[in-house]
Chains A and B, each alone.
Chain A
């Protein structure tokens, strides 16, 4: 895919291996905002640290137009080790769930509209 920033055409680096990693995000921020690469990296790190801190404190994080990160409490339950058949108790825990926004769902389903058109 081709992204256009400031009239300049660049190929997304992630194309090389098909996975977007933090370095790619830092590059995009760097190109878009124009501070040093180090500052861009710092800003991206702080952003994810802040989200982590909030979740660690038991607070849900909602990013409008993107998604919500929601904490859910799971009660203790009995289960079995599928290998040995041994019965074990699973302790109560808190898990993180992800709920994509309508906008995010719309962008991942852009090309599939034709599926719905036939009646």
Chain B
């Protein structure tokens, strides 16, 4: 599913235009982005949590030439699915496969 489909699905379920829904969706994801950029955690009950993991600078190698490359430290956003979502994803798929066989 893409963001456009998500906007459409959400708009269909509430009394909002697609334009309004798009603003909602963009606001939600930019608020998460902004918090992570400030180094803050994001916790959403029943869904999961987002946090930043610091990756240290290291010396990597170009796999083709074998040359050393400095890889700078970076902050990587990390998502941990909540228990509910983790189970939902696993159980439902297991069920579908059992029905097929």
Contact = CB atoms under 8 A, between A and B. Distances in A.
Contacts of B23: 32-33
A75 interface: no
Contacts of B16: 35, 39, 43
A48 to B, nearest CB: 5
B10 A94 contact: no
Interface residues of A, number: 58
Interface string B5-21: 01001100111100011
Contact of A19 (B40, B76, B85, B86): B40
B1 interface: yes
A59 B25 contact: no
A20 interface: yes
Contacts of A42: 14
B93 to A, nearest CB: 5
Interface string B40-65: 11111111000010000100000000
A61 B37 contact: no
Contacts of B52: 108
Given A19-B43, A20-B42, A56-B92, A62 B1 contact: yes
A46 B13 contact: yes
Interface in A20-59: 20-22, 24-25, 28-29, 32-33, 35, 39-40, 42-44, 46-48, 50-52, 54-59
Interface of A: 1, 3, 14, 18-22, 24-25, 28-29, 32-33, 35, 39-40, 42-44, 46-48, 50-52, 54-67, 69, 71, 93-96, 98, 100, 103-105, 107-110, 112, 115-116
Given A29-B27, A39-B14, A62-B2, 8 more contacts: A20-B32, A28-B27, A33-B27, A48-B47, A57-B92, A59-B1, A94-B93, A107-B34
